[in-house]
A and B are shown apart, each in its own frame.
Chain A
């Protein structure tokens, strides 16, 4: 079957050049973000339409358009002179074996076609066994980036609130959980600040059931082993202690840790207290206050519960539900502790390759905040920097990219960007992501809910796609203001009825 010609390359001031090809659309429709191809002496060039302009020489001069007005179309063949000019950016050239950079322009007059689906897949390096995130817009091609390419060099999912971040993440999680042994399964650990992914752990009959592959941990029940908390974390955490007080406290903890290894077994806050008793009274009082603070967090125990080995299992999603926690410090400490331990365990090959999903990443890896308020920053930064070598991946999710640490964001080699309108955030993304130019930037702000752009390591060129429908049960948080108001009213009514019946 012969392909239908979409358009013909035209000669303009700018091109055709190796970086810019304009063509006039002869038949059919061209869209912004569409892939096109044309054959010429170098091979088959793949380009993406990044702008469309309609021209008509009858309407070029404002004075004549205003003077002649409606008569223009009656008296002249104005409609015949309307042309659609598509501006395309060459992305690469297919030769017999290779995909090369475009280095030679096509000739004006060259025929332009809608890109072949197979060519798109090949060019974008999509993978049959990849992660089905949705469908590429204007083409019948599924957006299936390769797992390693998508995650190994970290992924950032950025969007304004309500643009479909959690939905997109849920789709990604479904894909990760649906992988078979043969395809390679990784562990996924999600720090879920709003409890949006806890639905994965609930059995369902109406949707795909992932409950057997999901473990939801209520962060309120988490216990961290005092003996295993890195000193630098505790140091930052106890920022209000004086250096002398810290020195004494760390001396006691070191001593107890040593005794633990000698066979006494793990220790708790009470054991520290019993040692603090022997210090001079003033110092002991100050340290006891600090220990009271630690105890009030209800976070420290003798052993980790759960331990990293239990939360990092191949093909398992572990959702650490931070929703029930009020203390930001406690959230920070949990994220920092588990990130550090997971990364260390991965370095020692004690846990499988994993992806660490951090919701509201700007709270944990902020660009500029005091150290005691960003306990996890240095660990997550290290994972962003060195994680690739150990197959420890980060999936950062943020609605305020501007507040996200630039270095960490820059280390996320793949970005999935949904609708963002805040100019500061857009600028920040532009600064940290190489693939975003002014054209893409304007497209990002005009994306609709559920539409996304993927760029970076996972695909050869920034590509727009529509996120597929999720098959898992929807999050309990996915409700509108109206629905919530109605539900509240009906609950209240029911409650009143019950009280009345009781009385």
Chain B
């Protein structure tokens, strides 16, 4: 009898308010039952008494509010009632409380996941083990995993990948969505649920996001520099402590323009010293926002067309008039005396003291990824060793974690996502745009040409781009972007 088993399935039986957890290894299966009531975490600033009264008004009765120091939970014996409660609260407070399936709620609560390994040494000892994955038998029960790999590597790897996502997202194999965006959305659901995060219900604030069109044609000596790898690191406490609750805190209000925790999404009021001038903004989204909301559209369109600009220029300026510009633009224009500094700024900053839960979770995932990479590196000594399940699982896990982490900032800035919050999205985009604008400027100073940038990659012309990325990250003290590819002749489409 095997001493360890894998969690392969979890089901909820509402009539009994029980969770059935299925553990399996080869031919052996164990089922464990847990008493469980579906719940969600109530927003901290909501008065529990008032919530109770409100729900009674709506004739909702079979629920209770469990209070402790950390959080308040609304618990119900019926999952449908819980969903109803969430809807009522959303309508009255404009904030939506996440309600997840009881199985997922259970896993989050226990900090378990599918295919986690559990020790079954005796009937008394039952504990979660880490770093022991060999459940290939479960994915392909008919033949040995290595054999399946030889027969159809693609399909077998796909199955492993699905199981990896099942592990990461705490959802059954059958429910893994196809796109990375949907997967990132599920990860965000887990993160928000575990931390009692609230989803904004109504978003009145306008939001602009602009992607440059990629150039076409053939170009010599192009390096593709991957910036997507640095965003997850950049959006955690050591750099930008990103999160709704960590933005514009009362404890760390910035006092000067050079404060490091001032977000690039801050708008600085300036007064134009000249009329009819134009400038290229460092922020594509601001340029688009300005274009959409200000007169002179035709002249901007014309200018964009005439000079083959990637985005609309900002202008025409009016002498003596005030405008709020992104902080990077304002700083640059102040240097050229085109503007003078105003007083009424719309500053945005992040908290220097308390870490946001998004930042915390991203940091933990990064840490986990780093450990996985380290372990994988230790195992990669023998070139001629046959790949086993453990190795394949590990390599797919690293890739999947990477792609999920890299997708998180994009999902948080995707207006179709439930977790989209304009202020946070603007801050994330502003950080990305500001970093890329600085990279462009830095590269030009060093004699490189940046042909194109989007929020994921930069295409740089010139040799020794590794030196460029290294010196750039040193100068800005940020993680180093990676060279994704280099070729003597690249065809951009």
Contacts and interface: CB of A to CB of B under 8 A. Distances in A.
A286 B316 CA distance: 39
A307 interface: yes
Contact of A259 (B217, B275, B444, B445): B217
Given A271-B449, A306-B276, A263 B214 contact: yes
B3 to A, nearest CB: 61
A304 B217 contact: no
Interface string A266-281: 1110110110010000
B278 A262 contact: no
B217 A262 contact: yes
B308 interface: yes
Nearest to B275: A215
A305 interface: yes
B434 to A, nearest CB: 18
Given A265-B309, A303-B309, A305-B278, A259 B451 contact: yes
B307 A270 contact: no
Interface string A55-84: 000000000000000000000000000000
A303 B275 contact: no
Nearest to B306: A307
A109 to B, nearest CB: 67
B299 A263 contact: no
A22 to B, nearest CB: 60
Given A259-B217, A262-B216, A274-B448, A227 B307 contact: yes
**Best-surrounded residue of A221, A225, A263 (most CB of chain B within 10 A):** A263
A302 interface: yes
Contacts of A267: 449
Interface in B223-257: none
A274 B462 contact: yes
A274 B446 CA distance: 9
A306 B317 CA distance: 11
A260 interface: yes
A309 interface: yes
A263 B313 CA distance: 16
B213 interface: yes
Given A259-B217, A310-B299, A302 B447 contact: no
Given A259-B217, A274-B461, A274-B462, A307 B449 contact: no
A310 B274 CA distance: 13
Given A259-B217, A263-B213, A263-B452, A302 B307 contact: yes
A260 B276 contact: no
Contact of A266 (B277, B278, B307, B316): B307
A264 interface: yes
B232 to A, nearest CB: 29
A309 B307 CA distance: 13
Contacts of B316: 310
A17 B271 CA distance: 72
B447 A265 contact: no
Contacts of B219: 259
Nearest to B298: A309
A284 to B, nearest CB: 12
A41 B217 CA distance: 82
Residue of B213, B313, B449, B462 most packed against chain A (CB within 10 A): B449
Contact of A225 (B276, B299, B307): B307
A483 B474 CA distance: 60
Contacts of A277: 447
A261 interface: yes
B308 A260 contact: yes
Given A263-B308, A274-B461, A303 B215 contact: no
B280 interface: yes
Q: Is the interface of A mostly helix, strand, loop or mixed?
A: helix
B215 A263 contact: yes
Interface string A213-232: 00100000100010110000
B213 A304 contact: no
A302 to B, nearest CB: 7
Contacts of B216: 262-263
A303 B462 contact: no
Contact of B447 (A228, A261, A266, A270): A270
A306 B448 contact: no
Given A215-B276, A262-B216, A263-B213, A303 B447 contact: no
B115 to A, nearest CB: 46
Given A273-B447, A274-B449, A274-B461, A266 B215 contact: no
Nearest to A306: B276
Nearest to B215: A263
Contacts of B451: 259, 264
A10 B15 CA distance: 134
A266 B311 CA distance: 11
A151 B280 CA distance: 38
Nearest to A266: B307
Interface in A295-344: 302-307, 309-310
B324 interface: no
B338 to A, nearest CB: 8
A261 B308 contact: yes
A259 B313 contact: no
B93 interface: no
B423 interface: no
A334 B313 CA distance: 22
A304 B452 contact: no
Nearest to B337: A221
Contacts of B138: none
Contacts of A268: 444
A267 B307 CA distance: 10
Given A262-B216, A263-B213, A307 B303 contact: yes
Given A262-B217, A273-B447, A310 B276 contact: yes
Contacts of B280: 302-303
A292 B60 CA distance: 78
Best-surrounded residue of A215, A267, A270 (most CB of chain B within 10 A): A270
Given A259-B451, A309-B299, A264 B215 contact: yes
A270 B444 contact: yes
Contacts of B310: 263, 265
B203 interface: no
Contact of B313 (A270, A303, A309): A303
26 contacts: A259-B215, A261-B308, A262-B216, A263-B215, A263-B216, A263-B217, A263-B452, A264-B451, A265-B309, A266-B309, A267-B449, A270-B445, A270-B449, A273-B447, A274-B461, A277-B447, A302-B280, A302-B307, A303-B306, A303-B309, A303-B313, A305-B277, A306-B276, A306-B277, A306-B278, A307-B306
Interface of B: 213-217, 219, 274-278, 280, 299, 302-303, 306-310, 313, 316, 444-445, 447-449, 451-452, 461-462
Given A306-B277, A310-B276, 4 more contacts: A266-B307, A267-B449, A274-B449, A310-B299
